[in-house]
Amino acid sequence: MILGLAHSLAADTVYVRDTIYVPLRGGQSAEHRILHRGIRSGTALERIQTNDDSGYTQVKMESGGLEGWIQSQYLVDEPIARVRLKQTEGRLLDLEASYQKKLLIQQDIETKQIELSDSNETLQTKNDILTEELTNLTQLAANVIAIDEENKQLRDEQTKLVEQMDAVSVANQELQSSTDQQWFLRGAGTILIGLLVGFWLSRRIYHKHGSGGWS
């Protein structure tokens, strides 16, 4: 019997097939004591070893760790349809939950995109305003520079005009002084001429009266 045992290289999992209840026995025959009267189909068991000669497989229950032998014909390597359906339903629920979660994330992303779009439009508006203000400031700065140049030219012209006015004032003063001298000389000349004429007339009168007296 020992030679008939097919030892697995490593313990794996098997399932009770269909909807039945299979007894778990203490040995590899129907005469051995029943350790568990009804293992429900679909129950996962850990397979320890299989004896092809006796048609029994040694298994270990996941719940409680009870070990025993069960007929190999009741074991399959894949879960039964009911279990697979339940597993599929579980996966579907997980997928639905994952979908809902991703949907919420997508909605949140779309909301943030809308907010970012609105924020971008606001920033664009502010940028346009700032650009216009910068353009105005640039033009104003250019105007200030031009006005400063004009003021500099006006100051230069004013300085030249002041210098010209000073020169004209000096020339005027010199001319006024020259004119006063000319008027003084003219007046002195006139007086001198008057004196000479008076002297000449008096001499003539004197000579005339003198001549009359002598005759």
Q: What is the pLDDT confidence band of residue 1, given thresholds at 50, 70 and 90?
A: very low
Cα 53 from Cα 147, distance rounded (Å): 115
Confidence at 5, pLDDT banded by 50, 70, 90: low
State yes or no: pLDDT of 3 exceeds 50: no
Highest mean pLDDT among 53-57, 131-135, 145-149: 53-57
Cβ neighbours of residue 48 closer than 8 Å, sequence gap 6 or more: 8, 11, 57, 58, 59, 60, 67
Residue 164 has pLDDT above 90, yes or no: no
State pLDDT tens for residues 180-206.
Answer: 777 777 777 788 787 778 777 777 776
Output the 3-class SS for the chain.
Answer: CCCCEEEEEEEEEEEECCCCEEEEECCCCCCCCEEEEEEECCCEEEEEEEECCCCEEEEEECCCCCEEEEEHHHEECCCCHHHHHHHHHHHHHHHHHHHHHHHHHHHHHHHHHHHHHHHHHHHHHHHHHHHHHHHHHHHHHHHHHHHHHHHHHHHHHHHHHHHHHHHHHHHHHHHHHHHHHHHHHHHHHHHHHHHHHHHHHHHHHHHHHHHHHHC
| pLDDT for the residue numbered 84 | 67
Is-contact 27 72, C-beta < 8 A?
no
Confidence of residue 215 (pLDDT cuts 50, 70, 90): very low
Interior/surface letters 119-151, b for 16+ CB within 10 angstroms, e for the rest = eeeeeeeeeeeeeeeeeeeeeeeeeeeeeeeee
pLDDT given for residue 59 in this prediction: 94
Q: Is the pLDDT of residue 46 over 90?
A: yes
List of domains in the chain? 5-78 (2.30.30.40)
CB-based contact 43:60 (threshold 8 Å): no
